[in-house]
Amino acid sequence: MFLEPHFKGQRSGWIEVICGSMFSGKTEELIRRLKRARIANQRVEIFKPKVDTRYDEENIVSHDKNEIVSTPVDNSKALLILTEEVDVVGIDEAQFFDEALTEVCQELALKGIRVIIAGLDMDFRGKPFGPMPDLLAVAEYITKVHAICQHCGNLATHSYRLVQDGSTVVLGEKETYEARCRTCYQMGNILNLK
């Protein structure tokens, strides 16, 4: 892809990624940043994957029930069509998007748009999740947020699945997942193997 040179006076865009485990406040932080952008009279468009219907069909809703209006989309290429005349693009649950999300976000940033992305960095197996590793590699700003381990009280970095299901994507909340530190996550996996 050929990129036009950056000209003096052209607005520069960038990519921000907010990542962490379940229950770490990723969506809370995304909503906070997007509301601040609106207070500054910036034009904001917000998206989430259509597959995520846990709290609401359309709105982005945090576990604490804070919410902001969004547009559910089937794939990342749809973002290019829906982001004309905007200053800021917010994307929640980025791990559920297709691999083209990284390229789309870079294209938006090259157009001078601030792109703020929130998503799980690891799946329940402790492996990099969807397009998140590539997004982390190209982002100008990365914020890793932490939950509190529900077993020992240390910082939690893992999403431990409580139900037996080998599928990578299983939508759920507190009845399906727990935030765990590295040690408690590993101990739980060892006990499940027995």
* pLDDT tens by residue, 36-56: 999 999 999 999 998 875 666
Phi, psi of 116 (to 5 degrees): -115, 120
Torsion angle of C-alpha atoms 3, 9, 10, 15, degrees rounded to 10: 100
Q: Whole-prediction pTM value?
A: 0.87
Q: Starting at the edge strand that comes first in sequence, how are the strands of the sheet with 14-20 ordered?
A: 71-73, 44-49, 88-91, 114-120, 14-20, 141-145
- Which residue positions in the chain have pLDDT lower than 50? 1-2, 194
Residue 4 has a CB neighbour count (10 Å cut-off) of 7
Domain ranges, ordered by start, for the chain: 14-145
**Selected catalytic residue, list 93, 99, 107, 175:** 93
Residue 9, pLDDT score: 56
- DSSP for 53-88? -SS-SSSEE-TT--EE--EEESSTTHHHHS-TT-SE
Whether 140 sits among the annotated catalytic residues: the reply is no
Q: Which CATH class is domain 14-145?
A: alpha beta
